[in-house]
A and B are shown apart, each in its own frame.
Chain A
Amino acid sequence: MTRTRRAAAIVGIGVLGLAIATACGALGWWQWTRSHVKAEIVAPDPVVPIADVLAPASSAGAAIGRRVSVAGTWADVDAVLVTGREVDGTPAVVLVRALIVDADLTGTGESATLPVVVGWRPAADATVPDDVGHVALTGYFRAPEEARPAPDPAPAPPGTRWSTTISPSELAQFWPAPMYSAPLASFEGSASWAALPPPPPQRDLDFRSLAYALEWWAFGGFALFVAARLMRDNGRTSARKEIT
């Protein structure tokens, strides 16, 4: 091989190595950004009918964070006052009510019970549920919380009971079946209960995407190493050839 062709080969290997390393770097960067923004709590998807994202008595999974519209009748069962919460720095009590979703909206043809997080009030100022009858509302699915033993033996306001958790599996013990497995946080609130402010996007690190990012960067470094090695070996062989 002539000296110029050898030089061209070395440059070519260098350019190819840099191109692969850049591509790997970009893919790693993409995964890195994904690992930071993936965990938004309210999905940006448009509001859809409830049956499109979740059926009663099935695992919530991908429905969490989705915004849905629903209509139904407030059930004549005890609502739940969830204590120990805080909203904008104020100790708060949160109202969770049972909404009997209209049979033609559940997707199964029969009505079902949806736990609705109606809103909040300052903890010292708890009151009873106000709205009655048939309502249409929009909200987003929250992740269900774990069941916890009921806290307060103090008498609750009429038509309510105390709890410290928003857990559909706990609510299922005294609300009619079938139940939705995730609570819906209402955007509307009611006359005496203010809707919960939408949670800020969570900046949780997603370790899966992070691991992929690091892997891509390792591949990029590997490409650079191999390119450098090939360029050095090519240079060395040509130098040796020139001496002999």
Chain B
Amino acid sequence: MFEAFLDGLAGMGSPAVIGAIVLGTTLGVLFGVIPGLGSVIAMTLILPFTFGWDPIIAMYVFAGIIGTASTGGGVPAILLNTPGTIANVCTTFDGFPMTRRGEGGRAIGLAATASALGTLFSIVVLAALLPLAEIMLRAFTPPDFFWLIILGLIAVTFASRQNMVKGIAAGGVGILIALIGFSPVFGVRRYTLGSEYLWDGIEIVPLVIGFFALSELIVYTSRGGSIARDASVNLGGFRQIMRGAVEVFQYKAILLRGSVIGTVIGAIPGAGGAVANFLSYSTAKQASKTPELFGTGYPGGVVASESSNDAKDGGILLPTLTFGIPGNGEMVILMGAFVLHGIQPGRDLLVNRLDIVWAIILGVIAAQVLTTIIILGGGAWLARISLVPVKYIAPFVAILSFIGVYAVRSNIWDVALAVFAALVGFSMRRAGFPLITLVIGFVLGQLAEEKFTQSLQISGGGYSIFFTRPVSIILLLAIVFMLGWSMYKAAKKNPAPRAAGS
């Protein structure tokens, strides 16, 4: 194994490999920055071209895309409140308020470094865990998965701001609208009102773009001025970015937790970057001594979000490389590339094609380092976006959002949905609902129902399956602890009078 690593390292000097990494990184950043597009679309587009290439070169290109898209996606999340990919949603919570304070550059610095460290962490873990992958894979059965989702839902509810009733209600609505569409578990369509558009339910990308990007566009365009509200603020340029980049180390605990959560969640097929992102953010807030700072432009929030969504890269490769079980869309394409190049994931890959394994691992690392340099270097320039009057920015955000939404599945009605979601999102925010619990309910609710039903199908209808597996029990205890802890905190806080709102 070590020999192959050295070979891989030596091979990285070749111009073809460098070219492949640069190509992958460029595509990844580009597709990450444009809202709605993401690594999956980038990989799909490049896949057919790699047909005739040396598989190693192809893997470096794919690794470049995998490693960078969610890093690139942090930039518009910070500057425009527009998450570049779904895994960047939590970055908007603190990144965007920082931008409005004129600290966009600092937030970019934080995000880029946190991303890089998260990736490095998870890749190291991946390399170390490759031999243990089987245990990981077997550990999470549908009932365990179910409890994990419930834990995630509860965690996110607490992560919403103090407004618990509205937070839970919004989460409930999110779960309910997720029921719309074809349910693979039951094999029926529900609530589609006979509409073909609703066959697969409500599409997540238009929902998120409408809720976050377009509703924010309404907010700042109707207000006028620039995104950094204090336009006289000195962005501090490169120095401010470096300040952010170094500052990451003040949030060691958050960084480590985000990286661990990202890696672990990533390794569970089906969970993905968005779940890791939400879970990392909410646990960081839960564990913090100053939870009230989260959501106000707290640097730790950016670190929690960006470390986790990049740390998922290492985790997610684990089941893919060892069993050929892709955990998300990116990995499905990677598997497609394996098939195209006659590579067999699993033991064959780990024994006979270690050069491929190292190409991917080294490729992700190299691409991540490259992206971080690009973003740190170009961040000062990018952060100036926050000083441009919004009346010039708005049309571009609208245009990119529309294209991104359309590109996902080439359905013009998705764009209409995004425009409608903008109205709903804006109104709900005005009425004090945290949109994020709705979105997470939407993402996790469907999964929860699926895993719940699967569990009962596996047990033949017996409910004891939920309470007898060791992982389930651990997760249940975690849920109980989390509920208890929040109640304790609430009880401690509630008697003290506190200013409402701000």
Q: Is chain B a partner of chain A in the same complex? A: no
Interface residues in chain B, defined as those with a beta carbon under 8 Å from any beta carbon in chain A:
none
